[in-house]
Amino acid sequence: MERTLIILKPDAVQRGLCGEILSRFERKGLQVAGMKLMRIPRALAEKHYESHKGKGFYEGLLNFMTSSPVVVLALAGKDAIVIARKMMGATFGSKAEPGTIRGDYGVSNSFNLIHGSDSPEAAARELGLFFKSDELVDWTPANQVWVYDLSKGQPE
């Protein structure tokens, strides 16, 4: 099983959309392996978004991400990284397809509700930034045998 880092950004928390967004991931079959509400310290936001340093939106992005609490999630599942990115949709609500989280809940070209790791390398790095190892919980959901076909030993 793969893990991905999801951040429900300040606009999602302020607009009361955390439950709805988490519910989509739960219904899809992704498993919560870590979850907390936090205010992101500036230094952590800088590290998380270091690949965007120097871009025009970087300062505004840091201000946005540190302005108000976020919910950070570690979601687990087979191909969790790609699945979560598809469910999020394109970067801005104005462009994201209906049926995606960004497409269904936002219209802004700046506030976009959610972050999701975009590769296995990014997921490992970002999970390490936001969670201590003992904050990530390894557990087996009771319905796992109906979420996946486990008859061949591997989840299908």
Whether 115 is catalytic:
yes
If one asks whether residue 46 binds ligand IDP (CB under 6 A), the answer comes out as no
Phi, psi (degrees; rounded to nearest 5) at 60: -60, -40
From the list ligand IDP, Mg ion, none, pick the one residue 104 interacts with, judged by a Cβ distance below 5 to 8 Å according to partner type: none
Contacts 24+ apart (CB under 8 A), 45-49: 47/129, 48/126, 48/129, 48/130
Picked from Mg ion, ligand IDP, none, the partner binding residue 2 (CB below 5 to 8 A depending on kind) is: none
Catalytic site residue from 8, 34, 115, 126: 115
Sign of the Cα pseudo-torsion (126, 56, 42, 90, in order): negative
DSSP, res 17: -
- Nearer residue to ligand IDP within complex by CB, 77 or 116: 116
Site string for ligand IDP, 102-121 (x = CB under 6 A): --------x-x--x--x---
Residue 91 partner contact from ligand IDP, Mg ion, none using kind-dependent CB cut-offs of 5 to 8 Å: ligand IDP
Q: In what order do the strands lie in the sheet with 70-77?
A: 31-38, 70-77, 2-8, 114-116
Q: For the chain, how big is the Rg over CA atoms in Å?
A: 16
Between residue 75 and residue 94, which ones bind ligand IDP under the rule CB under 6 A? 91
For the CB of residue 33, give the shortest distance to ligand IDP in the complex, in Å: 21
Which residues contribute to the site for Mg ion (CB under 5 A)? 118
Cα separations in angstroms, 58 against 52, 53, 61, 97: 6, 6, 5, 25
Both structure tokens of 107: 């219209």
Catalytic machinery residues: 115
Binding site for ligand IDP (CB under 6 A): 52, 57, 60-61, 91, 110, 112, 115, 118
